[in-house]
Structure 1
Amino acid sequence: MKTFVSSISGKEFPESEKMHAKIIRKAIFDLINKEHPSFNHNSYISVSELNQYRQKYISEYLLDEVGELGELEKDVLETIQNQEAISSKIIMEEGSVKFTYGQRLADTIASFGGSWKFIIIFGAFILVWMCINIIFLSSKAFDPYPFILLNLILSCLAALQAPVIMMSQNRQEEKDRERAKQDYMINLKSELEIRMLHEKLDHLIIHQQQELLNIQQVQVEMMEDIMKRLKKE
């Protein structure tokens, strides 16, 4: 199997991974040249090494855009380097989150308290309470009109329900923030993947153009040989 020696690492790689420096995008070429000053347009590099510098280029691009890489940006870069789907990272993070009993209870109470079921049941309870004290126990009502005990119960219920709903709202805000982070990670990875795709497409187009030029050169040489033979005849 034919091999070649990389100009930056000095290691041998298969000929199929050989990349000429001339077809590397200028931004990435400058990045390689910055670390390896001897690297020039006549040098060669392997595809795997070029991919590593593409990753570095993306990291530096993020640093320029964001200013400092946070955990989200690092997670996105990690998924790109490992060629993983960002959804797997998100699922792992969601699976590691554990809610306390109080949080689950607050969510359940808030969900029930904001439903038609609660409104109907509580409306029926108030109606039954009033009917019992006005109609059935009119002379010996335990809570006669204006239903002071009922008002006390309603006030206590409202006082307890309000902080429970606020706790649930806080939990919902946390969920919304997590969803926003996930959307940001997905959008960021999409942008970086598109940039890498453009880089690969540019490389492919340039490589194909060179191949076509080589084929044309061979065809021209063949035509010249044929013309020479015809002239001799």
Structure 2
Amino acid sequence: MPHFNDLSQHLFGKPLAELGEIERRILTRAKERRTVATDTNAEFSAELSVGDRLADSIARVGGSWAFILSFCGFLVVWVVVNTILLMTGAFDPYPFIFLNLLLSMLAALQAPVIMMSQNRQAERDRFAAAKDYEVNLKSEVELISLHHKVDDVLLREIAELRADLATLNRQLAQYRHIPDNE
């Protein structure tokens, strides 16, 4: 197996000292014939904290049609109940100040949680893009390596054919110099 510096020069066209971290990792995997892990979701999710998972769950629920429809139902019930009870002492009479307070508090809490989840999704996308780059780079390295192997085989076969042709030419020359006894 060639030395790392030889492999680096052969595959990347530059010495090992000039390779980046990803290129070195790919070179090591290529030399050891290991694959690049491609389950980016599991790999990324393993690093999430409990708060990160909770924020993602809240954003997933808060951004669903089930939440929107159920919250609309809650608002309708709130308004209807307080309008009917208006005559007998509603707990939040029109203009529904307590409901406005609850909605403001919900929005104040929900917005940063959704933003945290969106930021994490952007991080996940960058992480997946980096993994895709590694897989593509490893594939390119393997293709270059295969091209070199095919080229070596072809050059060896051409050399053998030339040697066979030279042998045939010598035999033909000898055959032509043999006197005909007939």
1:136-175 → structure 2 map (5 Å cutoff): 136-175=85-124
In structure 1, which of residues 94, 108, 113 is the aligned counterpart of residue 43 of structure 2? 94
| Percent identity for Structure 1 against Structure 2 | 42
CA distance in 1, matches of 2:122, 2:89: 50
The reply on whether 1:106 has 2:55 as its aligned counterpart is yes
**Matched residue, 2:165:** 216
**Matched residue, 1:6:** none
In structure 2, which of residues 23, 35, 51 is the aligned counterpart of residue 85 of structure 1? 35
CA 1:63–1:111: 2 relative to 1, 3 Å: farther
Moved over 6 A (4+): none
1:1-233 → structure 2 map (5 Å cutoff): 48-49=1-2, 54-58=6-10, 61=13, 68-87=18-37, 94=43, 97-229=46-178, 231=179, 233=181
CA distance in 1, matches of 2:15, 2:87: 78
CA distance in 2, matches of 1:104, 1:96: 9
CA 1:212–1:165: 2 relative to 1, 3 Å: same
> Deviations 1:118-150 (Å, cap 9, x if unpaired)?
000100000000000002453310000010000
How many Å apart are 1:52 and its aligned residue?
Answer: 6.0
CA 1:68–1:227: 2 relative to 1, 3 Å: closer
SS at match of 1:84: coil
SS at match of 2:73: helix
> Deviations 1:75-109 (Å, cap 9, x if unpaired)?
11111111112236x66x81793321111100000
CA distance in 1, matches of 2:158, 2:94: 93
> Deviations 1:5-32 (Å, cap 9, x if unpaired)?
xxxxxxxxxxxxxxxxxxxxxxxxxxxx
Contact 2:29 2:35 in 1 (8 A): yes
How many Å apart are 1:209 and its aligned residue?
Answer: 0.8
Contact 2:92 2:99 in 1 (8 A): yes
Q: Which protein, 1 or 2, shows the higher relative CO under an 8 Å CA cutoff with sep ≥ 6?
A: 2
CA RMSD across the alignment = 2.6
**Matched residue, 1:41:** none
Structure 1: any 5+ residue segments left out of the alignment? 1-47
165-174 vs 140-149, which moves further = 165-174
Count of residues in correspondence between the two structures? 180
Query: What is the one-letter code of the residue matched to 2:157?
Result: Q
Contact 1:107 1:168 in 2 (8 A): yes
TM-score normalised to the size of structure 1? 0.68
CA 1:53–1:157: 2 relative to 1, 3 Å: closer
Query: What is the one-letter code of the residue matched to 1:74?
Result: R
